[in-house]
């Protein structure tokens, strides 16, 4: 049987992402639908370091325009939220969400002793660690661990509702650190149909037919490999079958993010057991000619979110979904010589949903007269945002997951 290298890598990557424990297949026996009202989150990662000051704009602040004589967005171009603050001109759908009370904006979000490396800062955000800590698992992955404590015999799958990587899905071919737990991982899948087709090729079925009777409690590496493969194939099967139950018929943009949010909508409407969806857009690393690149990416984000929200509202699921954005850092306050901005520190986070308690601008805009060597100062730790979402939205033990108690916020 001939199989393309790319398909083998995809299955291998997914298998590595599963890393679950014995008797996984039992977790998929019988229906496990989640009725409407199930709270889910959609995490939108703005990769590369999005410029928050040109996202939520202090358009009447003279210090802003002085620092950005070319990049500064003028009052007449910004989408006015208040007499002082506006959104980037391309974010028309987010402006509508602001107007109807479905958008919350957190300013000055960051962490102590910020790191300006893309990779290190992203690891900090995805793991939920401090800047002086190096963790090999992510906050969403540990959420899966916390939801699935082992039974007396150490078997996760025997606990009701546990042992399923599909509880956290990343719309990609590779799993991010955020979805990797200490014991359980989420799963990465870009196209449920394609993954199902690959997983059901004769090559993999023949392997499992020969090795399907492996010792499921064995610690031998070869048995573990076959266990992981069987878990992966079952996950692909489950996701594809669920995605076909109630596929959305709504029109979405044909962009990458548009297709990803359409996939997420179909899964939400099909009552899959997923609680967390993770998707990325980028790159926002705008060292040069920022204006055009950010506008293109924001147009893609704006149009995809507009279609997604419209779809959720039509299916009466908007109250159940919380979408939020984050980026590994913001940008410097002053533009550089290449009409771009360099790596900065604190940033804003956007929250979209029908269940928001605090709406609009939740806290003060950045103080441009009080900078740290040209960078914004944070005053909200991003882990407080995570703690709030885990505790109030997902009904999870945030202190166990984040390994520390953080202050709860009031946006939900």
- Average pLDDT, stretch 13-29? 41
Residue 23 lies in a domain: yes
- What confidence tier does 28 reach under pLDDT thresholds 50, 70, 90? very low
Enumerate the β-bridge partners of residue 281: 46
Backbone angles phi, psi at 160, to 5 degrees: -60, 125
User: Residues 6 or more apart from 95 whose CB is under 8 A from it?
Assistant: 79, 81, 87
The H-or-E segment that residue 326 falls in is: strand 321-326
Taking 90 as the threshold, does the pLDDT of residue 337 lie above it?
A: yes
In percent, how much of the chain has pLDDT > 70? 77
pLDDT of residue 20 exceeding 60: no
Residue recorded with tokens 């909508």: 265
Residue 216 confidence class, pLDDT cut points 50, 70, 90? very low
* Domain annotation covers residue 408: no
Listed in sequence order, the residues at least 6 apart from 337 whose beta carbon sits closer than 8 Å to its beta carbon are: none
CA distance 94 to 100: 10
Any domain includes 411: no
Q: What is the pLDDT of residues 115-138, one digit of tens each?
A: 999 999 999 999 999 999 999 999
Cβ–Cβ < 8 Å for 343, 329: yes
Instruction: Tell me the C-alpha distance between 86 and 72, whole Å.
Output: 12
Averaged pLDDT for residues 348-368: 97
Domain hosting 89: range is 5-402
Query: Which positions ≥6 away from 30 have C-beta within 8 Å?
Result: none
Q: Cβ(353)–Cβ(321) under 8 Å? A: yes
Closest CA to 331 of 288, 385, 280: 288
Between 103 and 198, whose confidence is greater?
103
Q: Which of 86-90, 179-183, 254-258 has the weakest average pLDDT?
A: 179-183
Distance CA 262, CA 184 (A): 26
C-beta separation of 262 from 50 below 8 A: no
Q: How far, in Å, are 105, 234, 358, 411, 412 from residue 102 at the CA level?
A: 10, 37, 9, 11, 11
Would you place residue 25 in the very low, low, confident or very high pLDDT band (cuts 50, 70, 90)? very low
Q: What is the mean pLDDT of residues 11-18?
A: 46
Segment 242-260 shows an average pLDDT of 93
Total domains present in the chain: 1
Establish if 256 belongs to a structural domain.
Answer: yes
Q: What number of H helices and E strands is found in the chain?
A: 12, 12
Across the chain, mean pLDDT equals 85
Q: What is the pLDDT of residue 53?
A: 98
**pLDDT reading at 75 higher than 80:** yes
Question: Which tokens belong to 354?
Answer: 């029908």
Q: Tell me whether residue 47 is in a domain.
A: yes
3-state percent breakdown (helix, strand, coil) of the chain, nearest 5: 40, 15, 45
DSSP-assigned letters across all residues of 268-283: HHTT-S--EEEEEE--
What pLDDT, on the 0 to 100 scale, is given for residue 38?
86
248 domain-assigned: yes
377 falls within a domain: yes
Instruction: Please compute the mean of the pLDDT values over residues 370-398 and round it to a whole number.
Output: 97
Nearest to 46 by CA among 228, 332, 286, 262: 286
pLDDT > 90 in the chain, percent: 69
Give the C-alpha separation, 128 to 157, whole Å. 26
Does 122 map to a domain?
yes
Q: What is the pLDDT of residue 389?
A: 98
Give the mean pLDDT of 261-284: 95
Burial-class residue 152 by CB neighbours within 10 Å (0-12, 13-18, 19+).
exposed
Residue 154, pLDDT above cutoff 80? no
Average pLDDT score over residue span 160-174:
80
**Separation of first and last alpha carbons in the chain:** 52
- Rounded CA separation 143/163 (Å): 12
């Amino acid at each position: 049987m001939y199989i393309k290298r790319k398909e083998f890598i995809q299955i291998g990557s997914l298998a590595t992402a599963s890393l679950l424990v014995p008797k996984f297949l039992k977790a998929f026996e019988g229906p496990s639908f989640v009725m409407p009202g199930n709270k889910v989150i959609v995490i939108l990662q703005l990769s590369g370091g999005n410029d928050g000051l040109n996202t939520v704009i202090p358009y009447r602040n003279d210090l802003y325009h002085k620092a950005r004589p070319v990049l500064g967005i003028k009052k007449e171009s910004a989408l006015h939220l208040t007499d002082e603050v506006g959104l980037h001109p391309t974010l028309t759908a987010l402006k509508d969400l602001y107007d109807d009370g479905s958008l919350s904006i957190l300013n000055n979000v960051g962490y102590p002793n910020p790191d300006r490396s893309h990779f290190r800062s992203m690891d900090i955000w995805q793991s939920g660690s401090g800047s002086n800590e190096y963790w090999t698992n992510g906050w969403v992955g540990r959420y899966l661990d916390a939801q699935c404590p082992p039974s007396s015999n150490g078997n996760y799958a025997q606990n009701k509702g546990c042992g399923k990587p599909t509880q956290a899905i990343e719309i990609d071919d590779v799993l991010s650190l955020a979805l990797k737990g200490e014991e359980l991982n989420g799963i990465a899948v870009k196209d449920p149909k394609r993954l199902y087709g690959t997983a059901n090729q004769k090559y993999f079925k023949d392997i499992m037919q020969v090795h399907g009777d492996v010792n499921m409690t064995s610690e031998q590496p070869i048995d573990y490999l076959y266990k992981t493969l069987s878990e992966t194939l079952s996950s692909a099967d489950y996701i594809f079958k669920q995605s076909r139950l109630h596929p959305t018929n709504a029109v979405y943009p044909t962009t990458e993010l548009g297709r990803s949010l359409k996939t997420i909508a179909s899964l939400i409407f099909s009552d899959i057991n997923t609680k967390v969806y993770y998707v990325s857009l980028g790159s926002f690393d705008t060292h040069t000619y920022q204006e055009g690149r950010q506008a293109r990416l924001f147009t893609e984000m704006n149009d995809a979110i507009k279609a997604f929200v419209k779809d959720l509202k039509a299916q009466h699921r908007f109250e159940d979904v919380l979408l939020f954005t984050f980026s590994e850092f913001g940008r410097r306050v002053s533009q550089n010589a290449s009409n771009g901005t360099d790596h900065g520190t604190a940033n804003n986070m956007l929250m979209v949903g029908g269940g928001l308690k605090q709406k609009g601008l939740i806290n003060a805009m950045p103080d441009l007269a009080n900078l740290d060597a040209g960078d914004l100062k944070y005053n909200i730790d991003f882990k407080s945002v995570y703690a709030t979402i885990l505790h109030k939205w997902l009904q999870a033990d945030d202190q166990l997951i984040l390994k520390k108690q953080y202050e709860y916020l009031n946006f939900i």
